Amino acid sequence: MAKNRKNTLPQRKRMYQIVELLKTYGCVSRQFLANKLGVHANTITTDIRAINHSQTSKYDHDVIVNKSQKKGGYELVVKDLTLSLEIELNRQQLTTIRRALENIRQYDYLPLFTDYLNQALEKLDKVLRFHLEETKQHIYFEPIPSSPSAELFEFFLKAIEDQAEVCFHYQSPKNSAGFYYSAFQPYALKEYGNRWYVVGYYNSDFAEHRSINTLAVDRVMDNHSLTGNHFEPKQGFDMTKHFVHSLGMTVDLDVPIENVVLEFEHIQGKFFASKPFHKPYETQDSYEDGTPKQVSMQLRPNFDLTRKLVEMGAGVKVLAPKSLVESVMAKHQAALDQYK
């Protein structure tokens, strides 16, 4: 048994070293810690009590030392955690979990992020930082410029889960007066381009208006409510299949699927190869270094596709279909006319 020494470390430093030893060795005995620090076992008991009750500890009550009856020693555990999981994770796995947590938390404006969930995520983040010994933030996200109110998001989410029909006024960018949806059947919420959309069937009184609609949630006006009716989703509707031949959120089933052929300038081809704006696609021709030069994809030409191609400027040339060529040319010409 270790004896007390005149030159023992101050308690604060011993507390730190106890935690570090437990991080390194896992579950260990009191005597093991006493031998490592050169103090009496009773001193270890006092130090552990101080760790667990310290108001100034850098661990801030997120980690405490607990005596394990099963393992016969002391170990670090998460304080107030009612679910105990014994999972062995290496540093790379812990780092991956932490990065995933940072991705999740960029959506903390959603209603599912209650105070309890935020507190739980904060504790998990601190525990991961503790084990990874990280003190600085390494990943930064671009602020989300627009997000629906929590109340509005919750309204649509509950209606989807209950299959409840809703009604609301919608502020369309093409119509300043807006449009009234008297019987909208919401199927799903979908995020695209930092904006949330609700996808559903408009059960209009007029047959020609009955169709699947995709509406930006932040354009729904305040006077929204349930109609009192419930619905069954249209048989055969599949979200993935619905959007597979469209870029963005605009899907017009009256527009035929076309073989879109694009030719990239070399640098733009590299950008496309690293981050294609649509999948799947086929490479028809390549530069000598393997960079895609000409690609084709099956798409319904729409506003989002035209806008994406116009944004690429001289980096891309549309070869087919003719209607898309004309649409892109018209946008470029209109931009050029602004400078005349």
Q: Give the CA dihedral 135, 58, 107, 225, nearest 10 degrees.
A: -170
- CA dist list (Å): 193 to 41, 245, 248, 277, 285: 59, 17, 8, 12, 30
What are the residues whose beta carbons fall under 8 Å from the beta carbon of 317, sequence distance 6 or more? 262, 263
Contact 53, 13 (CB under 8 A): no
| H/E run at residue 198 | strand 195-202
Candidate from 29-33, 129-133, 288-292 with smallest mean pLDDT: 129-133
For residue 96, what are the CA distances in angstroms to 88, 125, 289? Answer: 14, 12, 33
Bridge partners (DSSP) of residue 258 are 299
**Residues 260 and 321 sit within 8 Å (Cβ to Cβ):** yes
pLDDT of residue 1: 44
Query: What are the b/e assignments for 111-130, b being 16+ CB within 10 Å?
Result: eeeeeeeeeebebbbbbbbb
What is the phi/psi pair of residue 90, to 5°? -85, 175
From residue 302, give the alpha-carbon distance in Å to each of 98, 245, 256, 269. 39, 10, 11, 22
Res 21: pLDDT? 86
| β partners of residue 195 | 192
Three-class DSSP category at 298:
strand
Confidence bin at 145 (pLDDT 50/70/90): low
Give SS3 for 165. strand
Sorted by sequence, the CB contacts under 8 Å of residue 215 that are 6+ apart come out as 170, 181, 197, 198, 199, 200
Q: Where are the alpha helices (DSSP H) in the chain?
A: 11-25, 30-37, 41-53, 91-105, 115-132, 150-162, 239-243, 266-274, 303-311, 322-337
Instruction: Name the average pLDDT for the chain.
Output: 83
pLDDT band at 114 (very low <50, low <70, confident <90, very high): low
Tell me how far apart the alpha carbons of residues 328 and 333 are, in angstroms, rounded to a whole number.
9
Indicate the pTM of the whole model. Answer: 0.63
Given this model, what pLDDT does residue 12 score? Answer: 81
pLDDT in tens, 151-175: 788 899 999 999 999 999 999 877 7
**Tens digit of each residue's pLDDT (9 = 90 or more) over 24-77:** 887 888 899 999 999 998 998 888 888 877 644 454 434 456 665 555 678 776
